[in-house]
Structure 1
Amino acid sequence: MDLELASSLGVFQLQRLPFRKNELLRAWDAADEYLLNHLAAAGIAEHGSIVILNDSFGALAVSLSAYRPTAIADSWLSQQATRINLALNRIDHERVSLLDSLSLPEADIDYLLIKIPKTMALLEYQLHRLKPLLKADCRVIAAGMVKTLPPNTWKLLERLVGPTQPSLAVKKARLIFASVDQNLQLPENPYPTRYQLENSDLSVCNHANVFSRDSLDIGTRFLLEHLPQNSEYRDFIDLGCGNGIVGVMLAKQNPNARIGFIDESFMAIASAKENFAAAFADSRQANFLVADCLSDYPENNADCIVCNPPFHQQHTIGDHIAWQMFRQAHKVLRKGGDLRVIGNRHLNYHLALKKLFGNCRQVAANAKFVIFSSVKV
C-alpha cells in the first residue's frame, strides 16, 4: 500500500490506525490532496491561524505542520494517528495542537479547513461553536469525496457561516468555499440532545457525534433485555460505550460492581459521564476512558465485557474493529469471564468468537439482531 502523500506542500509518509497487516487503504483521500494543492496555489499567510476539523489520520495536520495548525477531532484514533505520522516524518509534535471535539482554539481563525464528516450533526455543532471565532476574511474551505458528500452540506454552511461556492470536481473530490457573513445571527446550538429513556426517569444526554441522538436505538433496546446476570461478577466494561446507557443499566442491576466505559469518541465518553452522573449522582463511581478499544487495559482484569461493535470506520465498512475488540476482550477477561456481543445477523460474529474463545452461545435473536456470549476458558 502506498504510504506516501505527495502534494504541492511536500511529500509525507502516512499510516492509518488501527494498524492492520497488508493494509489496502491509504491514510488520505483525493479530497485531502485537492485541499492541500489549492492552499499551495492560493498561498498561505505565514502567521495565519489555521484550524483543521475532522482530519482522519493527520494528512492535513502533518502537511501543514510548518504553519503550526490546530487540529480538532472527536476521534482518539485520529489524534493518535496524527502523533504517529508527525513522528514518522520527524516533525516536532508541538507543531500541531490537538484538541478534542468539545474544546475551542484560543485564537481567532484565519483558515478553517474542514473534512466533511459522516455525521452532519457533528459539523453542525462544530460550526456553531467556531463561527464566533472566524475573522471577517477567514477562508473557510470544506473538502469531501463527491460520493459521500451529504446533500445538505451547502445549506448547513450557508446557514451557519455564510454564502458558499462549490469547486469543480477533481478525482471525484470537491471543495466548498464559504464566505463569513458577520451579520448572520446564529440559531441556538441544538447539541447535546436529550430524551427520556423508556420505562425510566432518566433523561439521556447525547452529544452531537453519538449514534442515535434522539431515541434509544433498536439494537441497544434489544441488548438491554439480555444483559448478563451473574452475582459473582464485579468488574464490567461497556466497550464502545456510546452514550453509556448499557453501562448505566449494568450498574443499576449490579449495585456492588465496578463499571468501566471505553470509547474512542470524546463525545461518547462525555455523554456517558453525564448519563452516569444523572443516574447515580455522587453515590457511585465509574472509570471512563477515551482509547483505542482495550489496547491500554490490563490483562485478566474484567469479569464481563459487553459491546456492540461498529462495522464501519468513517466511510469504510469492515469487521477489523470487531475482531480487534474480540481479541483484546479475550486478554482482558478473567478466566470464566463473559464477552456479550450484539450484532446484525449478517455479520456472523459467532464465527470469529468461536475461533477466538473456542465457544459461542446464542443468547437471543430477533429478525435483525443476534446476541452472543463467549466465555474465556
Structure 2
Amino acid sequence: MSHYFENDMDLKHDPHELRFEINQKEYCLKTDAGVFSKDRLDTGTRLLLETLLEKEKDPVTTLDLGCGIGPVGIVLKDQWNTQMTMIDINQRAVDLASANLKRYAVYADLFCQDGIQEGQYACIVFNPPIRAGKKVIYRLFQEAVDHLSREGRLWVVMRKQHGAQSAIQYLESLGCSVKKVNREKGFWIFTAQKKSTESSKD
C-alpha cells in the first residue's frame, strides 16, 4: 500500500488546499493525494507548532525533518528569524512544499532526500513517520542527534501509544538529555539535547 513515506509515481492526483490558523495567522497550502498532510493539519503538528512558537525564539538554523507539504517549515520561517532547511523523501510533497514556500514569499533550502546528509542545526523539528517503522524512525533520530549544533535541540511530537516513551529512552541511550515539554490528546512533545553541551534553557 502506498503512503507518504515513499515515492509512488503512479498515484493519482487529487489537488486541493489545506487551511489552518496558527498564532492568530491563517495559512492556505497546496496539497494532494499521497502526501502529509493531505486533508487537514493533524493534531500532532498543530501542537508541535504551538509549543515551538511559545518555547523557542529565532534559533539560528532550523531543520524541518520530513517536511511534507511544508506547514511546519513555512510557519516557523514566517514567524521566526531563522535559516530554514526542509527535507522529505517524497518528491510530490517536496514539489508542493516548494510551491507553498513561494506562495508565502519565504525562503528555505529544500531537498528531496532520505534523512539528513549534512549540516548542523540549532533546532531540528520532527514528527516521525510512524508507518515507516521503528527501524527507520530510530535511524532518523540518530541522524538528528548527529546533526545538532553544540547547544541544539531536537523537538519531537509522538503519540504515547506509538512508542513515545521508548523513543525517549532511545534518545537517552544516544547520550541525550530528554525533557517532556507538553502533552495533549495523547500526544507528547519532548526535546533532546546532547548532555555534554546541554543549554541552561528551560
The TM tier, using the shorter chain, reads 0.7 to 0.9
| Structure 2 residue 11 is matched with structure 1 residue 196 | no
| Structure 2 residue 26 is matched with structure 1 residue 205 | no
Q: CA deviation at 1:222?
A: 1.1
The aligned runs of 1:208-219 (5 Å cut-off) are 208-219=33-44
Q: CA deviation at 1:355?
A: 1.3
The aligned runs of 1:152-301 (5 Å cut-off) are 191-198=14-21, 199-227=24-52, 228-231=55-58, 233-255=59-81, 257-280=82-105, 284-294=106-116, 296-298=117-119, 301=120
Tell me, in whole angstroms, the C-alpha distance in 1 between the residues paired with 2:176 and 2:126: 19
Tell me, in whole angstroms, the C-alpha distance in 1 between the residues paired with 2:176 and 2:16: 42
Amino acid at match of 1:338: R
Checking the alignment, whether the CA contact within 8 Å between 1:326 and 1:356 is kept in structure 2 is no
State the partner residue of 2:143: 328
Structure 1: gaps of 5 or more residues: 1-53, 57-73, 77-99, 102-113, 115-122, 126-190
Amino acid at match of 1:124: K
Structure 2: gaps of 5 or more residues: 198-202
Checking the alignment, whether the CA contact within 8 Å between 1:357 and 1:374 is kept in structure 2 is no
Amino acid at match of 1:286: A
Tell me, in whole angstroms, the C-alpha distance in 1 between the residues paired with 2:156 and 2:126: 5
The aligned runs of 1:1-150 (5 Å cut-off) are 75=6, 101=9, 123-125=11-13
Tell me, in whole angstroms, the C-alpha distance in 2 between the residues paired with 1:209 and 1:221: 20
| Structure 2 residue 111 is matched with structure 1 residue 303 | no
Amino acid at match of 1:246: V
State the partner residue of 1:362: 180
Checking the alignment, whether the CA contact within 8 Å between 1:330 and 1:357 is kept in structure 2 is no
Checking the alignment, whether the CA contact within 8 Å between 1:309 and 1:342 is kept in structure 2 is yes
Checking the alignment, whether the CA contact within 8 Å between 1:207 and 1:270 is kept in structure 2 is no
Q: CA deviation at 1:360?
A: 0.3
Aligned length in residues: 187
Tell me, in whole angstroms, the C-alpha distance in 2 between the residues paired with 1:369 and 1:265: 24
State the partner residue of 1:342: 157
Checking the alignment, whether the CA contact within 8 Å between 2:154 and 2:192 is kept in structure 1 is yes
Q: CA deviation at 1:343?
A: 0.4
4+ aligned runs moved over 4 Å, structure 1: none
The percentage of aligned residue pairs carrying the same residue is: 30
For each residue in 1:5-64, what CA deviation from the matched residue of structure 2 results, as whole angstroms up to 9, or x when unmatched? xxxxxxxxxxxxxxxxxxxxxxxxxxxxxxxxxxxxxxxxxxxxxxxxx7x9xxxxxxxx
Higher relative contact order (CA 8 A, sep 6+): 2
Tell me, in whole angstroms, the C-alpha distance in 2 between the residues paired with 1:274 and 1:363: 32
Tell me, in whole angstroms, the C-alpha distance in 2 between the residues paired with 1:351 and 1:367: 21
Checking the alignment, whether the CA contact within 8 Å between 1:242 and 1:269 is kept in structure 2 is yes
- Give secondary structure in 1 for the equivalent of 2:138: helix
Checking the alignment, whether the CA contact within 8 Å between 1:192 and 1:207 is kept in structure 2 is yes
Q: CA deviation at 1:357?
A: 3.3
Amino acid at match of 2:57: N
After superposition, the Cα gap between the structure-2 partners of 1:303 and 1:322, relative to the gap in structure 1 and judged at 3 Å, is same
- Give secondary structure in 1 for the equivalent of 2:177: coil
Tell me, in whole angstroms, the C-alpha distance in 1 between the residues paired with 2:12 and 2:57: 43
- Give secondary structure in 2 for the equivalent of 1:225: helix
**Which structure: larger Rg?**
1
State the partner residue of 2:200: none
- Give secondary structure in 1 for the equivalent of 2:124: strand
Checking the alignment, whether the CA contact within 8 Å between 2:37 and 2:69 is kept in structure 1 is no
After superposition, the Cα gap between the structure-2 partners of 1:273 and 1:357, relative to the gap in structure 1 and judged at 3 Å, is farther
Q: TM-score, normalised by structure 1?
A: 0.46
Amino acid at match of 2:192: S
Q: CA deviation at 1:334?
A: 0.8
Q: TM-score, normalised by structure 2?
A: 0.84
- Give secondary structure in 2 for the equivalent of 1:353: helix
